Structure 1
Amino acid sequence: MPELPTTEIDVDHLEESAVGARFDLGAARRQLQAVGAAITLAKTTRWTGTVNVGLEAGRLRGSKRFSFGPSVGVEIPLFDQRQAAIARLEALQRQAQRELEALAIDVRAEVRSAAVRVLTARKISEEYTLRLVPAREGNVRYSQQHYDAMLLGVYQLLLAKQAELDTYRETIEAQRDYWVARSSLERALGARVPERAVPNGG
């Protein structure tokens, strides 16, 4: 299991970093921009209507010849100025805005929660590494000295050694929990975790 990094996460700007880096938020922003562009287009073309340009063919009266010519049809929107289409697009824009805001809130909460888990897991791992493991190792040395002097039985020595081994196992589990929490934070951020210099152990 790798040791804890000598630097720790910079929690000051994690939420802003996640809001800028997450792909789902980027997609929601693009959706909102697309609806805004559709509204702009609908509003600018509401008075022009549609223009049909084509080619017409017809037979002249009393003649067997066909005549070809251009045709132009212009719709003048007197009664339908696309109010319904614009209103529908504006409703879609409001919905997209609300979805973007809700997603941003969820991302911020997810990042905040993941950052707390990382910092908590680091403190627990450091507690094991800096305090509990040295205490258990000292207890085993003390028990070994007393056993060598025949002041302590073999079972007490074995119990001290078992407690030391349990502490080693728990230390590895604490480090594992730290790395799992850190990878969860990176997943919540949508990017690598920014770090700042922190002395190991506090």
Structure 2
Amino acid sequence: MPYPGFSYGRLEKGREVEYERGLHLNLARLIALPMTSRLEGRRFEQLQRRTSLAVVELASETRKAWYQTVAAEEGLVYARQVLEAAEAGAELARRLAAVGNFSKLQQAEQQGFYAEAGIAVLRAEQARVASRERLTRLLGLWGEQIAYRLPERLPPLPDAADELPEVERLAMSQRQDIQAMRLDVERLAQNLGLTRTTRFVNVLELGVVNNRSNEEPTQRGYEISVELPLFDWSGAKVARAEAQYRQALNRAAETAINARSQVREAYQAYRNAFELARHYRVEVLPLRQRMAEENLLRYNGMFISTFELLADARRQVQAVDGYLQAQRDFWLARADLDMALLGTPNPTLAAAPVASAEPAAGGH
């Protein structure tokens, strides 16, 4: 809303004193008020979209940090189980070597795996601390609040992955960054129209005048003033508005292209992560379980040594840890896909398994 102006003047001519008062209003700005109000409304709505996007991004990062923290704590448990098995093997190898039933090479192999398992535990502990502290920062907790408890396990893998055949169309209709860019284009288009409308007449003032004199009757009337653009026909202003509008169109096209690519990538990563985790659950873990049962029978029949049984137990724990990592990566991919449907995602790189070293089994 344009502000009204007030003018006051005092003139003297001999004994005559004249007082001039005027009230004027920029009529051009008043006429353009509906258009400028719509412009500001678009700007405010665009700001709301960007604020909503920032909130969604924070929620997505917090969600992924939660998955990573739970997985890190669970991975530390499995790393310690591997360490316990390696410690038992190293101790048994030491005792057998002490009585001459184990070679120094075989003992060194078991001791080497025990050392590597200890390193894996240290790395798992550091990963747990780092992920938990990151989650704490995202949650904004401090003091006694940091003693929060998390579930012992990640959510179970769903029976099937979500089918999203029209994932691109869904992203185009939901993404906050695209909506904000669309509002920006509409705002600049309206601004371009306003600039073209007011390029010649930008100042049009209408006012009422009151002149009072101590010797003459009071004079009342009105005045209209128009600014003549003799030296500036607003060509540069219009060209600038047109350039800003074209830039906004190009940015909007780029945002849409990137959004389609990002959501396709996120959806494919989600499907691949599900298939990998499902393969672990359906194929790898049952196979490892059957192998463990068979090796236990062979050990009871004295067909394999204690070291071979311990090595098989370590491999089984590592298979479970591999499934844990795949399960974590699936939920991270799910979070990235949800974010890609609402805004620009921040894909998470998969971390390496907690324990992967495996020595050659040996001994009798």
TM-score w.r.t. length of structure 2: 0.48
Q: Distance in 2 between matches of 1:82 and 1:10?
A: 55
Aligned partner letter, 2:329: D
Q: Distance in 1 between matches of 2:294 and 2:229?
A: 96
Match of residue 341 from structure 2: 189
Aligned partner letter, 2:156: E
Match of residue 73 from structure 1: 225
Residue 12 (structure 1) aligned with residue 165 (structure 2): yes
SS in 2 for 1:33: helix
Q: Distance in 1 between matches of 2:233 and 2:189?
A: 18
Q: Distance in 2 between matches of 1:115 and 1:85?
A: 45
Aligned partner letter, 1:51: L
Instruction: Give every structure 1 segment of 4 or more consecutive aligned residues whose post-TM-superposition deviation is greater than 4 Å.
Output: 45-49, 75-81
Match of residue 132 from structure 1: 284
Match of residue 36 from structure 1: 189
Within 5 A, what are the aligned runs for 1:76-87? 81-87=233-239
May I ask how many residue pairs the two structures share in their alignment? 190
Structure 2 residue aligned with 1:149, among 294, 298, 301? 301
Structure 2 residue aligned with 1:23, among 176, 186, 194? 176
Q: Distance in 2 between matches of 1:72 and 1:91?
A: 34
Q: 1:114-141 CA deviation, whole Å, 9 max, x = no partner?
A: 2222122112111111111111101111
Match of residue 250 from structure 2: 98
Within 5 A, what are the aligned runs for 1:101-120? 101-120=253-272
TM superposition shift of 1:75: 4.7
SS in 2 for 1:7: coil
Q: Distance in 2 between matches of 1:128 and 1:38?
A: 57
TM superposition shift of 1:91: 0.7
Aligned partner letter, 1:175: Q
SS in 1 for 2:166: helix
Q: Distance in 2 between matches of 1:116 and 1:17?
A: 15
Higher mean alpha-carbon deviation, 96-105 vs 8-17, is at 8-17
SS in 1 for 2:219: strand
CA contact (8 A) 2:199 2:238 kept: no
Match of residue 319 from structure 2: 167
Q: Distance in 1 between matches of 2:240 and 2:166?
A: 37
Structure 2: runs of 5 or more not aligned: 1-153, 344-364
Match of residue 194 from structure 1: none
Match of residue 196 from structure 1: none
Higher mean alpha-carbon deviation, 11-20 vs 134-143, is at 11-20
Q: 1:130-163 CA deviation, whole Å, 9 max, x = no partner?
A: 1111111011111111112222222212211211
Larger radius of gyration: 2
Structure 2 residue aligned with 1:57, among 201, 210, 229? 210
Higher mean alpha-carbon deviation, 45-54 vs 142-151, is at 45-54
SS in 1 for 2:215: coil
CA contact (8 A) 1:15 1:108 kept: yes
SS in 2 for 1:178: helix
SS in 2 for 1:15: helix
Match of residue 195 from structure 1: none
CA contact (8 A) 1:49 1:76 kept: no
Higher relative contact order structure (alpha carbons within 8 Å, sequence separation ≥ 6):
1
Residue 122 (structure 1) aligned with residue 269 (structure 2): no
* Structural RMSD (CA): 2.4
Q: Distance in 1 between matches of 2:236 and 2:280?
A: 66
Report sequence identity in percent. Answer: 28
TM-score w.r.t. length of structure 1: 0.82
TM superposition shift of 1:20: 1.9
TM superposition shift of 1:178: 0.5
Q: 1:155-191 CA deviation, whole Å, 9 max, x = no partner?
A: 2122112111111111111100110111011112118
Aligned partner letter, 2:318: D
